[in-house]
Structure 1
Amino acid sequence: MTSTAPAPIDTGWPPPPFLAPTAPLVGTDGVRRFHGLSYARTPGYRPCLLDVHVPAARGAVPAVVWIHGGGWLDGDRRYPPPTVPVELLHGAVLGAGLALVCVDYRHSLEAPFPAQLHDVKAAVRYVRRHAGLLGIDPERIGAWGESAGGHLAALAGLVRADSHGAALEGREGVQDEDSSVRAVVDWYGVSEIEPLLGQSPLPPLPGEPPYPNPITALLGDAEADLRGRARAASPVTYAGATTPPPFLLVHGREDRVVPFDQSESLERALSRAGGAVTLRAVEGADHIFLGSAEVPAVVAESVDFLRHHLTV
């Protein structure tokens, strides 16, 4: 008498490093929306999620990866800064025939740099892996971020796996896809961290606890080689490694959180590297374009830049 071993039970553990897209919700406007897709799962951390909004269109469309701000230790993929209504951002991107991919990433008090860049790159690789299911053209992906997200968008455009290796590419989520992007919009992002090491954080709001120093939190607590870690986290460090993709830098002239000269520094570095770069100063604007009436125009210019470089 022979016996047959029972089939192994699928316990679902350990969880896969990423999950394939589920069926989208389709609105009356024809927009397909994929909510809360797990693009990377790392033991000990919450899953990294992204949302995808795809306009009604024939065939695959270009995509813009939106990276939120918040000092690397706050923020949410679902919410732009308070000066930019969700309807304005989403409507402008979708109206231009582009898909919008909004990503979360590990905050700096969960994991220091380069975890945030690893997650952004994992999100790009995920979109490429599942481009057919999402209705996205995998060859036409751009990055757009604000503040901390602008910094990460710049790094996503400049850091290449073949030039900088696994240390900055990461091992999260999908592995065998390209993480590069074809164009970058960087709104008031930090580009050179070393000059900011002595900068004091903003005072807390009345009744609120003290806000951690964003730079210290991003780089980690270790005292050793702080300046070296600052350079490793700075987009200007990588501007000359390869020919950069086209960049649009937009920055408030009166920014008291990220000085305007941060974008000037990146503009110079990209120009020296032979890149196509435009720096757009928003006169009279503080951080997140506070004090400016130009926000709708800035959104329109940013979307037009991405549409041009992703559809030519």
Structure 2
Amino acid sequence: MTRSGLPPFPFELLAPPDPATLPLPPASHPEPGVELLRGAVYAVPDGSRPLELDLWRPAEPDGPVPLVVFVHGGGWRTGRRDDLGPRFRTWRPGPFARLVQAGLAVACLDYRLSGEAHFPAQRDDLAAALSWLGGRADELAVDRSRIVLWGESAGAHLAALAALTSAGSATGAVRGCVCWYGPSDLGALAEDHGGGFDSTDPTTREALLLGAAPAADEELTRAASPVHHVSGDSPAFLLLHGTDDTLVPSRQSVRLAEALREAGAPVELRLIDGAQHLWVGLPDEGVTECFDRSVEFARALTR
């Protein structure tokens, strides 16, 4: 008994429920043959909000379905887990339903933004999502051995990091990674921007991610740069980047492609002539071609 005369409080009751055992959300059917589980909690980081993902999958799968894990952009500062970018918001059916119609399941996930936590929290969140998906794969009817990561902009950076650091780990089932106009070498942004980026500025998107200007902590900047995690065990990569991108220079994707080729890892680099960031300036048919090539890449790796 405490001095108040009441029994001691069982503080373990304050602990959040284990995401590995939480009931899955109810399914909806946004398109014929498509089932959506929206808002499954995959992690509850200490001091943070619960992190959720949406799972798109065939309504009546013949067996475990290959899985695309999508990581949204937004400069690590904002964004929605179900948003592939402004060029896709009017698509009907939407891009994730189209992936399901192509025979793939899709997990679209939250991660902690830079206003909530600094790197490596975001990388750790992706690892936690992959672990949760693998641990509940039978229940979710997805194939834990056939996973492709797909990210755009800041999400491409995080997807590449997750793919490159998963080799030989419990999440080593990652077979490939699709990166759209993502940063790959944070320490080289000043050079690639031709002087239009200040690596000593603590207010850039990259500095807010790291918690320090890139030039102020070279070791952390290197750790957060996918290009420095490439090895001969790296999975296959598809890199798509607009030649007119002024937000993330296309040289960033060239750097990653060069590192992968030098390591002997499979990579396909496509520089999209005239395209800005987010595929701004690209005709509709060009946007569709980028999407279709990415779907083909994912399907080929997971057959």
Pairwise TM-score range, normalised by the shorter structure: 0.7 to 0.9
Provide the residue aligned with 1:15 in structure 2: 16
Deviation of residue 225 (structure 1)? Answer: 5.0
Counterpart-to-counterpart distance in 2, 1:21 and 1:102: 18
Match of 2:219 among 211, 217, 228: 228
C-alpha deviations, 1:123-153, integer Å up to 9, x for none? Answer: 1111111111111011111100000000011
Alignment-mate amino acid for residue 238 of structure 1: H
Provide the residue aligned with 1:115 in structure 2: 121
What's the secondary structure of 1:280's corresponding residue? strand
Provide the residue aligned with 2:44 in structure 1: 41
What's the secondary structure of 1:90's corresponding residue? helix
> TM-score under structure 1 normalisation?
0.83
What's the secondary structure of 1:183's corresponding residue? strand
What's the secondary structure of 1:37's corresponding residue? strand
Provide the residue aligned with 1:284 in structure 2: 274
Structure 1, unaligned stretches of length 5 or more?
A: 1-7, 164-176, 202-210
Is residue 148–residue 174 contact of structure 2 (8 Å, CA) maintained in 1? yes
Name the CA shift for 1:248/1:222 in 2 (closer, same or farther; >3 Å). closer
Alignment-mate amino acid for residue 114 of structure 1: P
Is residue 111–residue 125 contact of structure 2 (8 Å, CA) maintained in 1? yes
Match of 1:303 among 260, 270, 295: 295
Counterpart-to-counterpart distance in 1, 2:298 and 2:209: 28
Correspondences of 1:1-312 after superposition (within 5 Å): 12-19=13-20, 20-27=22-29, 29-56=32-59, 57-85=61-89, 87-160=93-166, 177-178=170-171, 180-196=173-189, 199-200=196-197, 212-221=203-212, 226-240=217-231, 242-293=232-283, 294-311=286-303
Name the CA shift for 1:154/1:21 in 2 (closer, same or farther; >3 Å). farther
Deviation of residue 121 (structure 1)? Answer: 1.1
Counterpart-to-counterpart distance in 1, 2:12 and 2:119: 33
Higher relative contact order (CA 8 A, sep 6+): 1
Counterpart-to-counterpart distance in 2, 1:110 and 1:199: 27
> TM-score under structure 2 normalisation?
0.86
C-alpha deviations, 1:251-274, integer Å up to 9, x for none? Answer: 001000000100000000000111
Alignment-mate amino acid for residue 134 of structure 1: L
What's the secondary structure of 1:76's corresponding residue? coil
Is residue 25–residue 38 contact of structure 2 (8 Å, CA) maintained in 1? no
What's the secondary structure of 1:264's corresponding residue? helix
Counterpart-to-counterpart distance in 1, 2:118 and 2:273: 33
Alignment-mate amino acid for residue 240 of structure 2: V
Counterpart-to-counterpart distance in 2, 1:224 and 1:195: 10
Instruction: Provide the identity percentage.
Output: 41
C-alpha deviations, 1:148-167, integer Å up to 9, x for none? Answer: 0000111111113758xxxx
Alignment-mate amino acid for residue 299 of structure 1: F
Counterpart-to-counterpart distance in 2, 1:232 and 1:10: 37
Is residue 28–residue 35 contact of structure 2 (8 Å, CA) maintained in 1? yes
C-alpha deviations, 1:206-231, integer Å up to 9, x for none? Answer: xxxxx951011011037995122111
What's the secondary structure of 1:182's corresponding residue? strand
Superposed CA RMSD: 2.5
Deviation of residue 89 (structure 1)? Answer: 1.4
Counterpart-to-counterpart distance in 1, 2:85 and 2:251: 21
Which range is displaced more, 286-295 or 75-84? 75-84
Is residue 206–residue 214 contact of structure 2 (8 Å, CA) maintained in 1? no
Between the two proteins, the alignment pairs up a number of residues equal to 282
Structure 2, unaligned stretches of length 5 or more?
A: 1-8
What's the secondary structure of 2:128's corresponding residue? helix
Alignment-mate amino acid for residue 111 of structure 1: A
Deviation of residue 276 (structure 1)? Answer: 0.9
